[in-house]
């Protein structure tokens, strides 16, 4: 297992290098001039050139890339021109918020989609099967920003059963002491149940918005994978041997159907982490997605480069975790890998 992990990490190094090069080139190809943007509309040509020199944009592209690599090697992702803060500090502050939202949405989708997918596979053509198809169609068809606005309008404005969608925590509650950056975990560590309940209440609507979107592929994959396994010869043999239906379903069928489900989980998690910016905007969530969009609008290179590099590292670790889970679910995968 250790050799497999080291081999996967070594194989990810060329991908990380490629991400660094492509991100650097693409950010320089963005329309607009950062120096002119931050100098203001009334700035003179001399002032713009002075700002361009301060930012190092007056140097050649290879020279800029060498300087960027030197800063990257020292752990410096640069400073954001928009906020004036180090990009690494901003990412450390905002990434846990996006991770918490994404994980809660994924957990909510899993506890709903996987059981429904299993039930739909064991009862094809039933009302449960039709319900799964309806939920899957709604999850694919409805844009996340529309679902978020609808939930906020109904649950907060009309019914008043949810707190105002204004961030991770209501203004009347202090943020817990930072340990992991995840408010739910940090409040439990501090044994502050009031803050935990307040943070959980703020998470319900945005997590439900993401969960509905993720539910569709998970439910479809679970149903298709279970249908394929349930029609296998070894399942018919297990049933003919007199094993109980529950044991056949969960011990043999579900475990063998887990591999494609885990693959889908990794795909949707990586997709959500990088594309939940619409949900963050709707619910004023201070995550990394909204941060990088603001940087893109202002042609702020450093936050964009730091975001893409961070996402690349997260995806590498995610793929590594999926490989390890493959070996746990089916040891033959680890042996062959």
* Mean pLDDT estimate for the chain: 82
pLDDT in tens, 193-207: 999 999 999 999 999
And the tokens for 124?
Answer: 């094809």
And the tokens for 150?
Answer: 């609808």
Q: Report the candidate in 279, 47, 10, 272 with the shortest Cα–Cα distance to residue 144.
A: 279
Predicted confidence (pLDDT) at residue 12 exceeds the cutoff of 80: no
1-10, 20-29, 53-62, 216-225: the lowest-pLDDT one: 1-10
Higher pLDDT, 91 or 57: 91
Q: For residue 22, what pLDDT band results from cuts at 50, 70 and 90?
A: confident
DSSP single-letter state for residue 174: P
24-28, 128-132, 193-197, 287-291: the lowest-pLDDT one: 24-28
* C-beta separation of 190 from 184 below 8 A: no
Higher pLDDT, 250 or 55: 250
Helix 87-122 and helix 193-230: axis angle, to 10°?
Answer: 50
Q: For residue 163, what pLDDT band results from cuts at 50, 70 and 90?
A: confident
Q: For residue 335, what pLDDT band results from cuts at 50, 70 and 90?
A: very low
The mean pLDDT value for 29-40 works out to 68
190-195 contacts: CB < 8 A, separation 24 or more?
195/169
Which strand (E) or helix (H) includes residue 329? helix 301-329
- Maximum CA extent, the chain: 86
Q: Which domains does the chain have, with CATH numbers?
A: 95-283+310-336 (1.10.3720.10)
Q: For residue 31, what pLDDT band results from cuts at 50, 70 and 90?
A: low
DSSP track, 258-293: HHHHHHHHHHHHHHHHHHTHHHHHHTT---HHHHHH
Nearest-angstrom CA–CA distance, 51 and 39: 7
pLDDT reported for residue 196 = 92
* C-beta separation of 303 from 291 below 8 A: yes
The mean pLDDT value for 3-10 works out to 73
pLDDT in tens, 250-276: 888 888 888 888 888 888 887 777 667
Q: For residue 189, what pLDDT band results from cuts at 50, 70 and 90?
A: very high
Q: Report the candidate in 211, 218, 232 with the shortest Cα–Cα distance to residue 260.
A: 218
The mean pLDDT value for 149-172 works out to 87
And the tokens for 333?
Answer: 């995968």
pLDDT in tens, 296-331: 777 777 888 888 888 888 888 887 787 777 777 766
Predicted confidence (pLDDT) at residue 81 exceeds the cutoff of 80: no
Nearest-angstrom CA–CA distance, 194 and 294: 33
3-state class of 86 per DSSP?
A: strand
pLDDT reported for residue 332 = 63
pLDDT in tens, 96-141: 988 899 889 889 988 998 998 888 888 888 888 888 888 888 777 8
Predicted confidence (pLDDT) at residue 337 exceeds the cutoff of 60: no
Nearest-angstrom CA–CA distance, 41 and 45: 11
Q: For residue 188, what pLDDT band results from cuts at 50, 70 and 90?
A: very high
* C-beta separation of 186 from 177 below 8 A: yes
CA atoms within 13 A on the CB side of 69: 13
Sign of CA dihedral 26, 100, 119, 135: negative
């Amino acid at each position: 297992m250790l050799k497999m992990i080291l081999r996967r990490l070594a194989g990810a190094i060329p991908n990380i290098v490629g991400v660094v090069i492509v991100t650097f080139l693409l950010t320089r190809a963005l329309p607009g001039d950062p120096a002119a943007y931050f100098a203001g509309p009334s700035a003179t040509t001399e002032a713009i050139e002075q700002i361009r020199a301060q930012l190092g944009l007056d140097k050649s592209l290879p020279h800029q890339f060498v300087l960027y690599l030197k800063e990257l090697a020292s752990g410096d992702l640069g400073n954001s021109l928009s906020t004036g803060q180090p990009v690494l500090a901003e990412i450390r502050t905002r990434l846990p918020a996006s991770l918490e939202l994404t994980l809660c949405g994924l957990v909510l989708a899993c506890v709903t989609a996987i059981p429904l997918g299993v039930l739909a596979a064991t009862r094809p053509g039933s009302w449960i099967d039709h319900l799964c198809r309806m939920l899957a169609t709604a999850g694919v068809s409805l844009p996340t920003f529309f679902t978020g606005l609808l939930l906020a309008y109904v649950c907060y404005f009309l019914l008043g059963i949810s707190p105002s969608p204004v961030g991770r925590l209501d203004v009347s509650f202090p943020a817990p002491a930072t340990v992991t950056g995840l408010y739910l975990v940090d409040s439990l560590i501090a044994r502050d149940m009031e803050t935990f309940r307040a943070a959980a209440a703020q998470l319900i609507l945005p997590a439900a918005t993401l969960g509905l979107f993720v539910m569709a592929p998970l439910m479809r994959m679970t149903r298709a994978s279970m249908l394929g396994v349930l029609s296998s010869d070894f399942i018919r043999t297990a049933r003919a041997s007199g094993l109980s239906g529950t044991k056949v379903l969960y011990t043999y069928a579900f475990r063998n159907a887990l591999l494609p489900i885990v693959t889908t989980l990794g795909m949707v998690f990586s997709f959500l982490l990088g594309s939940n910016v619409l949900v963050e905007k709707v619910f004023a969530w201070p995550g990394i997605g909204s941060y990088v969009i603001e940087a893109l609008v202002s042609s702020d290179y450093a936050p964009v480069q730091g975001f893409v590099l961070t996402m690349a590292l997260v995806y590498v670790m995610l793929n590594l975790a999926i490989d390890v889970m493959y070996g746990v679910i089916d040891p033959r995968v680890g042996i062959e890998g």
